[in-house]
Amino acid sequence: MMSLLYRLGDALRRRSGAADHGRLGEDMAHRYLRGHGCTVVARNYRPRSGNGEIDLVAWHREKLVFVEVKTRATAEFGEPEGAVDAEKRQHLARAARDYARRAGVGWEKARFDIVAVVLSPRRIQWIQDAFLAKQPTQV
């Protein structure tokens, strides 16, 4: 029943914005991670400061995983994960620190992953421990 609702929601989003590759990729990544043992607890988390956004937050075994989803129509102009540069990583880490603090989860239990989605031909790649973020400093 739930998968039917997810498919219906995906179809409505595709119809309302056929060129919205980002949303389509996030939907695909969400289902992919759930199918691989993750429990997704948040989508499009944005801290109150407005600094950065986390596409998906999930639990995978004992780790709180902050997932950046990158979607491309084709891989013609490079792989999607190549778009996660140092500046993007910094924004993700800032938002992740806020989420972890609010959730009461220690930084040692956090991990940063990337899900790279190519729509044609369809391909999903889950890159675990894609990058490390510095331990937040104690004040």
Whether 6 is covered by a domain: the verdict is: no
pLDDT digits (tens, 9 = 90+) for 110-131: 999 999 999 999 999 999 999 9
The one-character DSSP state at 61 is: T
Residue 139 has pLDDT above 70, yes or no: no
Whether 11 is covered by a domain: the verdict is: no
Report the Cα 22 to chain-centroid distance in Å: 11
Instruction: Compute the distance between CA of residue 17 and CA of residue 41 in angstroms, rounded to an integer.
Output: 25
Measured distance between the N- and C-terminal CA atoms of the chain, rounded to whole angstroms: 48
Segment 92-114 shows an average pLDDT of 95
Q: Please give the C-alpha separations between residue 120 and each of 10, 124, 126, in angstroms, as whole numbers.
A: 17, 11, 17
Whether 63 is covered by a domain: the verdict is: yes
Whether 3 is covered by a domain: the verdict is: no
Whether 105 is covered by a domain: the verdict is: yes
Residue 95 has pLDDT above 90, yes or no: yes
List 136's β-bridge partners, or say none: none
Which residue range(s) make up the domain with 92? 21-131
Whether 126 is covered by a domain: the verdict is: yes
Whether 82 is covered by a domain: the verdict is: yes
* Count of the separate structural domains present in the chain: 1
Whether 16 is covered by a domain: the verdict is: no
21: confidence class by pLDDT, cuts 50, 70, 90: confident
